[in-house]
Structure 1
Amino acid sequence: MTFPVFTSSQSEPLARGKELGTHLRDQILRNLSGYTDLFTVAGASGARVRAWGERALDRSAAWAPRLAEEIAGIAWGAGLEPWQVAVVNARTEILAAIDAGGAADVTGDGECSTSVVLPASGPARTVQTWDWHDHLRDAPVLWEYEPFPGHVVRTFTEAGALAKIGVNTAGLGVHFNILRHGSDSADMAVPVHLIARRILDEAATVAQAADIARSAEVSASTVITVVTEGDAGAVEISPAGVSVIPPGPDGVLLHCNHFLDAGLAEGERHATDRPFTYDRQRHLRDHVDGLSDADLTVRALAMLGHGPDDAPVCAHPDPEMPINQRWETIATIGLDVAAGRMRVHQGGPCRVTEATWQEF
């Protein structure tokens, strides 16, 4: 099983977006439908979601006009309104807005776990599980595009979303985990997925990535773990501020779904509902030897853990639960920042073998 791959041939944002929207129309429509169902179950009306999408598009256009153009192009190609594609890109912000209003019920055992190890010699060693709601398991796509000549970006993202996890040929890669903070609000601002996109398009260092994150006003929280050949930093983003968590003296940087910065951790929200994030962080720390291995398959297997007797790093959905409480490890991903490539396995670590990796 592999994820769909699309390579853009267009260089200008509007044309690139239209090309993508045309080729991935059916998948984008299914993705939008899946998110519409998720927002409805979580407690948001269609009119409210539209208002949030329009607001997110306006804020995006002010912060990154070329990316707003690309969203408009995707909508054009897919036969949608731009606000509908903005909704896909702002799904983190919309869920945070619903939660801020007290309507959301987002308990469960899933979410993402990220490991980066910078060895004393040799390439950076990374691996991440990407957990999301199982009815959206067909949303991901592997997308290659060239934002400017000679700079290639490869990203694992959701159809219609401008970026998520990825690498660029400047030697930088990003992992992506959701966070929740007391300052998250319904005052829709720049989507965090667009921050990841600009980092992939523009940054070659952790410091440059952090500057891009600090330039955006946000309404929801996330952590973008940035890695280069000799450096790494978990860029924790929230409306209360941005902090960069460096690797430890051993070169290890681990992140799940709670804030590690002491100041931002005072406003922690995610772990209130999902304390398993701490169990997953401990699991990663306990398996650092495997996560440090040069072999990505060994690193992926070191992530393996199933609840309730072990940390639920590898999530499997309970079909009896409503869709907003069903979690599945949809992908396991390792980055090769030196080559500007990634390897992706469709599913969780419990099914990884050397033969299941998709090279991208």
Structure 2
Amino acid sequence: MVITSVKLNDVALEQFATHRAIHTVPAEDPRALGAACAGDIRAAFDAYARLFAAHGIGAEQVRAWGAAALAATHEWAPSLAAEIRGVAEGSGLAEWQLGALNGRTEILAAGAVTGEGECSTSVVLADGSPRTVQTWDWHDTLRAAMTVVSWPGVCTFTEAGVVGKIGVNSAGLGVHFNVLRHASDHADIGVPVHVVARRILDEASTVEEATDLARSARLSVSSVITVVTADRARCLELSPAGVGVIDPADGVLWHANHFLDAALAPGERTTEDVSTTFARGSWLRAHTAELGAADLSARARALCAHTEDGAAVCAHPDMSLPPHERWESLATISLDVVAGRLHVHPGGPCSVTPESWQTFTVRPAAPAR
């Protein structure tokens, strides 16, 4: 495996780490990927260990849940479990530690952690070239874990050691990603939602294929994966109670961090007193025209809403709070599924400029052997 590691723009080195360009698929030599990313993966695990501890989740419990996440991955996606184990070996971490990184959403939910929520996503279907954009909101202490990894067939924005998150594949399909919380979420760790997103990127070329894959996974927590192709889009609301489907209305899809599916919404666990998700959803609905702009930066600027505007779509951390209670829009991301491009701005929408975007193009998948 040949891995090219490229530092991204000088002004963003503290915000955005590296782009790893892999010349074969990770499963063919995951140990090399783990070795190349060892420092970043160890730092990411240490940061998550601190986050878990701050929420009262002890080290032994993290170990057990990390092992369970890897076991659930092995049952549903054996090749991805083998990849995670190989990356662990190459990085010098234990397998359960990589399981915990990939299952971090499951571990936080199992520990009954609540919070502001994260991420606002918009898709506007237009003339065979969907206009997509989202914020990726998370704790500012996890900023350094952000990375882009690409190999033949897939390009994904993710966190060090995590198999995938937001991205695009060479079949012309892309995914956005938001967290959800549902009454059916539980501590019997299931397939990590990040593994579901990655397998969709690996295997799906249509919205229906992505839907079938999502429905085949045994889940223990909730998230929404927004799937986009040149002419279709769909929000897949994942939960242990089932997978809800939200199709576009008049060519428009949006999602924040609450359920929209009529059957799943009664189990909503996110409340208005702890999250801005409902206000952000209203903002997205009200700014469809701007969010459908052909110009990427103009589209991102439509997400420039702060608390004083009535919707904290662009989040900034309150530094008076402890680290595990702070939230920030760490990245602004758009997909061009027609051209196979992933556009990433390191930071929130309010700091976007035409020059601040980093663009990554997915390479064609290697021919089947």
1:86-125 alignment runs, 5 A limit:
86-99=99-112, 104=113, 106-108=114-116, 111-119=118-126, 121-125=127-131
Partner residue in 2 for 1:149: none
Report 1:196-275 matches (<5 A). Answer: 196-248=197-249, 250-271=250-271, 274-275=274-275
What is the alpha-carbon distance in structure 2 between the residues aligned to residue 301 and residue 201 of structure 1?
31
Deviation at 1:243, TM superposition (A): 1.3
Equivalences for residues 276-315 of structure 1 within 5 A: 276-315=276-315
Deviations 1:112-164 (A, max 9, x none): 00000002x24100000000000000111100023xxxxx1000000000000
Whether 1:136 and 2:149 are equivalent positions in the alignment is: no
Contact 1:131 1:329 in 2 (8 A): yes
- Scaled by the length of structure 2, the TM-score of the pair is 0.92
Unpaired stretches in structure 2, ≥5 consecutive residues:
1-11, 361-369
Moved more, 237-246 or 269-278: 269-278
User: Could you list the per-position Cα deviations for residues 210-229 of structure 1 after superposition, in whole angstroms to 9, with x for gaps in the alignment?
Assistant: 10000000000000000000
Q: Is the 8 A contact 1:14 1:69 kept in 2?
A: no
1:352 aligned to 2:368?
A: no
Question: Match of 2:67, as an amino acid?
Answer: E
Q: Which residue of 2 aligns with 1:73?
A: 86
Amino acid at match of 1:66: S
The 5 A counterparts of 1:30-41 are 30-41=43-54
Instruction: Give SS of 1:262's match.
Output: coil
Give the alignment's TM-score, normalised by structure 1.
Answer: 0.94
Which contiguous aligned blocks of 4+ residues in structure 1 show a shift greater than 4 angstroms?
none
Deviation of the 1:273 alpha carbon: 5.1
Q: What secondary structure, in the 3-state scheme, does the structure 1 residue paired with 2:35 have?
A: helix
Residue pairs, 1:323-342, within 5 angstroms: 323-342=323-342
Q: Secondary structure at the match of 1:137?
A: helix
After superposition, give the CA deviation of every residue in 1:84-134 in whole Å (9 maximum; x if it has no partner): 0010000000000000xxxx3x333x5100000002x24100000000000
Contact 1:89 1:193 in 2 (8 A): yes
Contact 1:3/1:346 (CA < 8 Å) preserved in 2?
A: no
Shift of 1:340: 1.3
Matched, 1:165 2:172: no
- Give, in angstroms, the shift of residue 308 of structure 1: 3.8
Tell me the SS of whatever aligns to 1:263: coil
Q: Deviations over 1:171-206 (max 9, x none)?
A: 000000000000000101100000001000000111
Structure 1 residue identity aligned to 2:209: Q
- Please name the residue that 2:151 is paired with: 145
State the SS of the aligned residue for 1:354.
coil
**From 56, 71, 77, the counterpart of 1:58:** 71
Q: Tell me the secondary structure at the aligned position of residue 96 of structure 1.
A: helix
CA distance in 1, matches of 2:27, 2:354: 37
CA distance in 1, matches of 2:175, 2:260: 18
Corresponding pairs, count: 346
Q: Distance in 1 between matches of 2:165 and 2:25?
A: 20
